[in-house]
């Protein structure tokens, strides 16, 4: 056996006598034996790389040749390999060299330039029996491709290889971190056939020395001793100082098998370790295993049971039952193996490796016998230790408990069925209510749409009836003719009022009543209504009195149009049902000076309690059909007035006695508002205003039979009216007179364009008056949004038209 040490001495060792011969000195390599590379070629010559030199020693001729290596860093690990073709390969962390048998350095390259990782501290080279050169690398095993002149990957794995060895059958053994692998070359790549890791009992080491003996056993040298692997049986055994090794830390790439079969290894302590593979030390006596404890978590605490001759009693509700054991005796703690077997549940032993416990999620009711064994490494298993676990049933798992549970289950089923039926009934009722609500909303929307269309169709012809009758009333007529014409005029207004009441009622029912609060002066509103209703009172020979304790400059925020509608209904009813006497309207502040209280008192016949109770019902009147026959009306005015008051957050109350008259009181919580710089009462179509200056030119864009009466009403206001049809040609032919006012229906279209967009483009800056027969609440909003200055609904009354014209002149 040739041995080259790090101190520069080559010697031949006789393994039988221990004597050394053929001493040869070479360049000192330092303190590390890995810094010396040595190989024997096919001619028996020794090649030594050390101290920056390559030496070739021929023992037969006793000749020595030297060549410089050209390497820096004499302490780096070297790997020297002689191949069958006579070439030599040298691996250094910074260089890969190829030498010819004649000592010519043929190739000197950096590892990264030929497909290897740079800076690998210890790289092993191996020429197999087929002449293929292999190299370990941190990215897996590589082989030399002569065609491409580089090392290429031999496997798909990208993990580091620490050592390689060739078996007699040509297979390659690879040492990786915590594992040994067997591979075969299929002509294109390595194919792994076996792997032994921690699950197979292989220790957690990185063996950097590897050899295969004549019987196919794999030997790995590591820092923790010599590892023996039997690939056929899958047995792993670690031999250390406890097994008789005088030294157990093997040096990397320093484990070889001699021709005699003896394994020779260099150890870090210095010297050689010789081992005969067939003379393994026998295992010691059987180890002894004991059960330490049984731990059962119960709530926030853990119950610990110590083994004894009596069975351990557990509850059926116990979970995560932990059985802890311990193998006594000396041995490597990382190579202790345990196995458990629960009779009746496990078909075979359950290996847990070095984990000295087993956890059962739950055990069935009954008696369980658990057997446990342990061993050191690949030594014999200990004698089985047994433990009896008895799981007692809970009360509901016994026969009586099951009967009680069955009874309780039947009761719960009955109660649950009844509750389910109740829940289904409630759901069905809610579903029906939702369906009824949707149907009611749909019906209300249809009714509102129908009433809107009906109002539109009624307002157009009533414009002619109301307009012509009002104009004729100003002409000289006979008394009988005037009376008949007055009746006709009032009937038309009454019909329109009925439609308006029906629309208001439909909006209230559908929840689409939209209030438009603005700042107004209550005193100005009372003066306006007094001027409007005083002629009615005089015609009936009644005294209409107004009294107010409000501050002269009091302003409130509210929907003045709806408030005016409430007062007109209340005062109008008082004037209608009072045959003689007085109707008085009062106004004062609410409690603590907040809000508004309005009172309407008459000296009429009064009402009984029963009449008062049904007074605010829809389509109800004080004396039913007699009242309707004498005074007319729809019976909706008071109902709508109360709905409007409640929509504004207030209420209407009534006090009445037969023969003592009636008093209505309206309370509205209207907030105070600052006085704006505008009219004290915004117009809603009832206010009077001074007549505008005469003979102003007005363009009326209208189509249909009502155009003539609208033009006549405008002319009665002293205006010069030109009427054109909204057709394209007619409107285009309209004269370019500097019009003072444009009057049109905002819903009319000229071709595909709304008239509200055409008029300001043709006559910019001219005020526009919107006239429409629409009765819905959105008509005014749509008209104002289209750019019209003032909005009026048909039919037209002279007073409302006069007030609207005044607003138009003010808008110029």
Burial of 414 per CB tally in 10 Å (0-12, 13-18, 19+): exposed
- Do residue 700 and residue 651 come from a single domain? no
Q: Per-residue pLDDT tens for 537-546?
A: 888 899 999 9
β-sheet with 46-50: strand ranges across: 37-40, 46-50, 53-58, 63-68
Q: Per-residue pLDDT tens for 428-443?
A: 999 999 998 888 878 7
Q: Give the pLDDT score at 689.
A: 43
Sign of the dihedral through C-alpha 799, 802, 806, 812: positive
- Do residue 640 and residue 550 come from a single domain? yes
- In this structure, the strands spanning 142-145 and 133-135 are antiparallel
Q: Give the pLDDT score at 13.
A: 82
- Do residue 805 and residue 714 come from a single domain? yes
Q: Kindly give, in sequence order, each residue whose CB lies less than 8 Å from that of residue 493, ignoring residues fewer than 6 positions away.
A: 466, 795, 797
- Do residue 468 and residue 388 come from a single domain? no
Q: Where are the beta strands (DSSP E) in 343-430?
A: 350-353, 357-360, 366-376, 385-392
**Confidence check: pLDDT of 633 > 70:** no
- What is the rounded average pLDDT for all residues in the chain? 85
Tell me which of 58 and 240 has the higher pLDDT. 58
Question: Among residues 449, 451, 441, 450, which one has the least CA distance to residue 634?
Answer: 451
8: left (phi over 0), alpha (psi -120 to 50) or beta: left
Q: Give the pLDDT score at 627.
A: 47
- First and final C-alpha spacing in the chain: 125
CA distances from 749 to 329, 725, 745 (A): 107, 11, 9
Establish if 795 belongs to a structural domain.
Answer: yes
- Do residue 619 and residue 582 come from a single domain? yes
Rounded to an integer, what distance in angstroms lies between the CA atom of residue 549 and that of residue 527? Answer: 14
| Residue at which a domain ends, from 624, 650, 668 | 668
**Confidence check: pLDDT of 496 > 90:** no
Q: Give the pLDDT score at 282.
A: 63
Q: Which residue shows structure tokens 């008051």?
A: 645
Q: Per-residue pLDDT tens for 291-316?
A: 999 999 998 899 999 888 788 999 99
Q: Give the pLDDT score at 686.
A: 47
Establish if 152 belongs to a structural domain.
Answer: no
Q: At what angle do helices 637-647 and 479-509 cross, to 10 degrees?
A: 40
CA distances from 509 to 441, 442, 504, 647 (A): 9, 12, 9, 12
Is omega for the bond preceding 666 within 30 degrees of 0, making it cis? no
- Do residue 604 and residue 656 come from a single domain? yes
Q: Which residue shows structure tokens 């539109």?
A: 456
Rounded to an integer, what distance in angstroms lies between the CA atom of residue 240 and that of residue 100? Answer: 41
Q: HSE of 298 in the Cβ direction (CA atoms, 13 Å)?
A: 11
Contact 240, 230 (CB under 8 A): no
Six-digit token pair at 19? 């004597």
> Mean pLDDT lowest for which of 203-207, 211-215, 630-634, 655-659?
630-634
Q: Per-residue pLDDT tens for 506-520?
A: 667 666 677 778 888
**Confidence check: pLDDT of 30 > 80:** no
Stretch 632-640: mean pLDDT, rounded?
Answer: 70
Stretch 150-167: mean pLDDT, rounded?
Answer: 93
Tell me which of 229 and 473 has the higher pLDDT. 229
Tell me which of 133 and 451 has the higher pLDDT. 133
Tell me which of 541 and 445 has the higher pLDDT. 541
Q: What is the CATH number of the domain that holds 539?
A: 3.30.565.10
- Do residue 603 and residue 736 come from a single domain? no
| SS3 state at 419 | helix
Stretch 458-472: mean pLDDT, rounded?
Answer: 82
Q: What is the CATH number of the domain that holds 314?
A: 2.60.40.10
- 587 C-beta neighbours (distance < 10 Å), count: 20
- Do residue 332 and residue 420 come from a single domain? no
- In this structure, the strands spanning 582-589 and 543-548 are parallel
Rounded to an integer, what distance in angstroms lies between the CA atom of residue 37 and that of residue 105? Answer: 16
Per-residue pLDDT band at 101 (split at 50, 70, 90): very high
Establish if 263 belongs to a structural domain.
Answer: no
Contact 167, 156 (CB under 8 A): no
Q: Per-residue pLDDT tens for 665-719?
A: 999 999 988 877 555 555 554 444 444 455 789 998 888 888 888 888 888 888 9
Question: Among residues 387, 343, 390, 345, which one has the least CA distance to residue 366?
Answer: 390
Six-digit token pair at 407? 């009874």
| Residue at which a domain ends, from 648, 668, 688 | 668
- Do residue 356 and residue 458 come from a single domain? no
**Confidence check: pLDDT of 71 > 70:** yes
Domain boundaries, position 472: 399-480
Stretch 57-61: mean pLDDT, rounded?
Answer: 89
> Mean pLDDT lowest for which of 447-451, 468-472, 692-696, 773-777?
692-696
Establish if 387 belongs to a structural domain.
Answer: yes
Q: Give the pLDDT score at 135.
A: 96
- What are the backbone dihedrals phi and psi of residue 528, each rounded to the nearest 5 degrees, phi first? -65, -45
Rounded to an integer, what distance in angstroms lies between the CA atom of residue 601 and that of residue 661? Answer: 7
Six-digit token pair at 282? 């026998």
Q: What is the CATH number of the domain that holds 803?
A: 3.40.50.2300
Contact 258, 264 (CB under 8 A): yes
Q: Give the pLDDT score at 302.
A: 92
Establish if 5 belongs to a structural domain.
Answer: no
Q: Per the structure, how many domains does the chain have?
A: 4
- Do residue 717 and residue 649 come from a single domain? no
- Do residue 411 and residue 449 come from a single domain? yes
Q: At what angle do helices 798-810 and 707-716 cross, to 10 degrees?
A: 70
- Do residue 314 and residue 421 come from a single domain? no
Q: Give the pLDDT score at 552.
A: 79
Establish if 726 belongs to a structural domain.
Answer: yes
Is omega for the bond preceding 210 within 30 degrees of 0, making it cis? no
The helix (run of H) or strand (run of E) holding residue 515 is none
Rounded to an integer, what distance in angstroms lies between the CA atom of residue 716 and that of residue 713? Answer: 5
**Confidence check: pLDDT of 628 > 50:** no
Establish if 420 belongs to a structural domain.
Answer: yes
Rounded to an integer, what distance in angstroms lies between the CA atom of residue 3 and that of residue 26? Answer: 13
Q: Give the pLDDT score at 692.
A: 46
| Residue at which a domain ends, from 480, 513, 533 | 480
Q: Where are the beta strands (DSSP E) in 354-483?
A: 357-360, 366-376, 385-392
């Amino acid at each position: 056996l040739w041995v080259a040490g790090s101190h520069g001495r080559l010697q031949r060792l006789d393994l039988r006598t221990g004597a050394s011969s053929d001493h040869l000195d070479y360049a000192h390599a330092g303190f590390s034996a890995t810094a010396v590379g040595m190989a024997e070629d096919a001619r028996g010559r020794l090649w030594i790389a050390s101290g920056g030199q390559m030496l070739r020693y021929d023992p037969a001729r006793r000749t020595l040749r030297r060549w410089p290596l050209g390497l820096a860093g004499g302490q780096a690990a070297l790997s020297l390999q002689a191949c069958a073709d006579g070439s030599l390969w040298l691996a250094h962390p910074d260089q890969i060299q190829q030498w010819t048998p004649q000592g010519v350095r043929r190739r000197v390259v950096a590892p990264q330039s030929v497909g290897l990782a740079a800076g690998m501290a210890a790289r092993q080279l191996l020429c197999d029996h087929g002449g293929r050169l292999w190299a370990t690398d941190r990215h897996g095993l590589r082989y030399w491709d002569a065609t491409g002149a580089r090392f290429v990957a031999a496997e798909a794995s990208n993990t580091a290889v620490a050592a390689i060895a060739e078996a007699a059958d040509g297979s390659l053994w690879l040492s990786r971190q915590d594992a040994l692998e067997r591979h075969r070359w299929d002509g294109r790549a390595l194919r792994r056939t076996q792997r032994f890791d921690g699950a197979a009992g292989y220790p957690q080491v990185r063996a950097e020395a590897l050899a295969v003996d004549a019987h196919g056993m794999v030997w790995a040298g590591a820092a923790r001793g010599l590892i023996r692997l039997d690939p056929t049986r899958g047995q792993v055994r670690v031999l250390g100082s406890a097994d008789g090794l005088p030294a157990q830390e093997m040096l990397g790439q320093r484990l070889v098998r001699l021709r005699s079969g003896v394994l020779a290894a260099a150890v870090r302590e210095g010297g050689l370790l010789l081992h005969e593979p067939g003379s393994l030390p026998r295992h010691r006596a059987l180890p002894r295993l004991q059960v330490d404890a049984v731990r059962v978590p119960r709530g926030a605490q853990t119950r610990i049971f110590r083994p004894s001759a009596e069975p351990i009693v557990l509850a059926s509700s116990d979970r995560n039952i932990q059985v802890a054991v311990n193998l006594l005796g000396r041995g490597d703690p990382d190579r202790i193996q345990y196995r458990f077997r629960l009779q009746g549940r496990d078909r075979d032993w359950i290996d847990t490796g070095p984990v000295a416990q087993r956890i059962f999620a739950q055990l069935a009711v009954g008696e369980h016998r658990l057997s446990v064994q342990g061993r050191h490494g690949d030594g014999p298993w200990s004698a089985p230790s047994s433990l009896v676990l008895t799981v007692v049933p809970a009360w509901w798992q016994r026969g009586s408990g099951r009967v009680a549970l069955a009874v309780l289950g039947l009761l719960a089923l009955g109660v649950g069925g009844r509750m389910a039926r109740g829940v289904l009934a409630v759901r069905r009722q809610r579903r029906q209510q939702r369906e009824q609500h949707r149907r009611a909303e749909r019906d209300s929307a249809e009714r509102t749409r129908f009433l809107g269309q009906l109002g539109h169709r009624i307002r157009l012809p009533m414009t002619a009836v109301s307009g012509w009758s009002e104009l004729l009333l100003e002409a000289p007529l006979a008394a009988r003719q005037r009376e008949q014409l007055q009746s006709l005029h009032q009937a038309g207004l009454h019909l329109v009022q009925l439609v308006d009441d029906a629309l208001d009622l439909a909006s209230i029912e559908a929840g689409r009543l939209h209030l438009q609060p603005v700042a107004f002066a209550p005193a100005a509103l009372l003066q306006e209504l007094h001027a409007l209703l005083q002629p009615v009172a005089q015609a009936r020979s009644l005294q209409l009195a107004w009294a107010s304790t409000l501050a002269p400059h009091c302003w409130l925020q509210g929907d003045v149009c709806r408030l005016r509608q409430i007062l007109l209904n209340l005062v109008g009813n008082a004037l209608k049902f009072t045959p003689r006497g007085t109707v008085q309207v009062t106004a004062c502040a609410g409690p603590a000076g907040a809000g508004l209280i309005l009172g309407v008192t008459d000296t009429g016949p009064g009402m009984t309690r029963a009449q008062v109770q049904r007074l605010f019902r829809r389509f109800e009147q004080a004396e039913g059909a007699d009242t309707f026959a004498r005074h007319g009306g729809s019976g909706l005015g008071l109902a709508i007035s109360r709905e409007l008051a409640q929509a504004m957050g207030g209420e209407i109350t009534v006090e009445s006695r037969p023969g003592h008259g009636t008093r209505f009181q309206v309370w509205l919580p209207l907030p105070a508002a600052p006085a704006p710089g505008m009219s004290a009462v915004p117009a809603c179509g009832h206010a009077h205003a001074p007549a505008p200056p005469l003979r102003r030119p007005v363009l009326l864009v209208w189509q249909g039979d009502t155009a003539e009466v609208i033009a006549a009403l405008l002319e009665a206001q002293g205006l010069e009216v030109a009427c054109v049809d909204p057709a394209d040609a007619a409107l285009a032919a309209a004269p370019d007179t500097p019009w003072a006012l444009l009057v049109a229906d905002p819903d009319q279209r000229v071709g595909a364009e709304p008239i509200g967009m055409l008029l300001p483009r043709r006559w910019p800056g001219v005020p526009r008056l919107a006239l429409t027969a629409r009765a819905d609440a959105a008509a005014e909003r749509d008209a104002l949004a289209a750019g019209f200055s003032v909005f009026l609904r048909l039919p037209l009354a002279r007073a409302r038209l006069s007030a609207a014209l005044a607003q138009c002149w003010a808008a110029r």
